[in-house]
Amino acid sequence: MVLGVSWPSKSSPTPTVVPQAPLLTPSPQLRVLDIDTEQIEIHELVGRRLGFRALGASTDRYCTGRTAFRADGPPRYVPCPGRERAVGSGQCETCAGKDSFRFVHTVHRTGFVSRDLEKHVMQPHWLYLAAFANGAFKIGTAADTRKWGRLAEQGAICARYVAHSDDGKAVRVAEDLVTESMGLRQAVRSAAKAASLCLPIDVEKLDAATARRAAQVREMLTGAGIAGCTPIDDRWTPPAGREALSENVSRVAYPADVATGSHGLAIRTCVGQAVIATVDDDTYVVDLAALKGRRIELGAFTSDLPAVQSALF
C-alpha cells in the first residue's frame, strides 16, 4: 500500500541504524507499506522507472496508519492494525482518533501541549511563503528538523522563509496573523498543484514575485512584534531538476487514472507529490498523491494510453 512521496530534509540523518553524515542531495522517495510484513519499502523515483498495477477499484482507499510521538524518543510509524478503509483525511476513524498530531494545529489557541507532543512542538520552527506553478501563494510552517524537506514535499517552485520562531506555538500565531491580515491561504490542493505543472512556467519571474510578497509579509510581522518570532529573509533552495520546468517541453496531464490498471513511468523529476515522466517519448504530469492509501503491485508494467493534446495556454 502506498503511503506517499517523501523528501528527506537536508539536515536529517539518513534513516539507518548506524549514524551517517547529513544528506547533501536529498531525493524524493515513494514509501510503500508491505501489508503482509508491515515493513516500509523505500523506492527512489528520479531517474528510475516506476512500474505498477493498481489493485481493486478506484474507490478502494485504505487507512495509512498514524505517527506516534514519544516524549522519550523519535516519532514512530504505526500501521493501521485493522487495515481498515480510509475516511476523510486518509485514516480510519480509530487511527484518526489516536493520532495526537492533529492537536499540533491548535496548540497556540488552547495553550495545552501533551507530553508526547511537547518535544515536537517546543522545538524551533520556520514560517515560510511558498509559490506554486499556477502563481498561488501559501503561508506555512516547518519544524526545525523539516525546514527544507517540508517545502519539497509541498511542491513549491519558489519559497522564502519569512520568520524564525522559538517554538511551534509562536510560529502558528504568526501564520494565522498572516492569513487574517493578508489573506494568504494555508493550503493548496495537490490536484491543483499537479495540474498547473502542465503550463509553461517562468521560474525567474515567479521567484521575483515571491521575493516581493515575502517582503510584505516580513514588514507586517515586524510591525506585529509577535513574542518569540523573528522576521527573517532566507531563500529556500529547490531540489535539483527544477530547471526542467522552464524547458520548452510540452507537458500534459497523464490521461489515465493511476488508481486503476497498469502503468509504467520513466520519471524525470519530482515536484512535491507529482512527477514529470515519459511514456513512449511523450511527457506527462502524474499526480502520485492519488495513489496514497491504494494497494499496488510493483513490477515491469506498462501504460496503455490514448492520444492527448498539449496545453496551449
Residue range 37-50, pLDDT digits in tens: 999 999 999 999 99
Whether residue 157 contacts residue 245, with contact meaning beta carbons closer than 8 Å, is answered with yes
Tell me the percentage of the chain whose pLDDT exceeds 90: 70
| CA atoms 45, 46, 47, 49: torsion sign | positive
Whether the per-residue pLDDT at 20 is higher than 60: the answer is: no
Mean of per-residue pLDDT scores for the chain? 88
Reported as a single tens digit per residue, the pLDDT across 222-266 is: 999 999 999 999 999 999 877 777 776 688 999 999 999 999 999
Q: What is the pTM of this model?
A: 0.88
Query: Tell me: the pLDDT tens digits for 111-159?
Result: 667 777 778 888 999 999 999 999 999 999 999 999 999 999 999 999 9
* Neighbouring C-beta atoms of residue 170, cutoff 10 Å: 21
Q: Order across the sheet with 274-279: list the strands.
A: 252-253, 282-287, 274-279, 261-271, 49-54, 296-298
Give the three-state DSSP class for 42.
strand
pLDDT tens digits, 88-103: 779 999 999 998 877 6
Query: What are the sequence ranges of the domains in the chain?
Result: 119-241
Q: What is the largest CA-CA distance in the chain?
A: 57
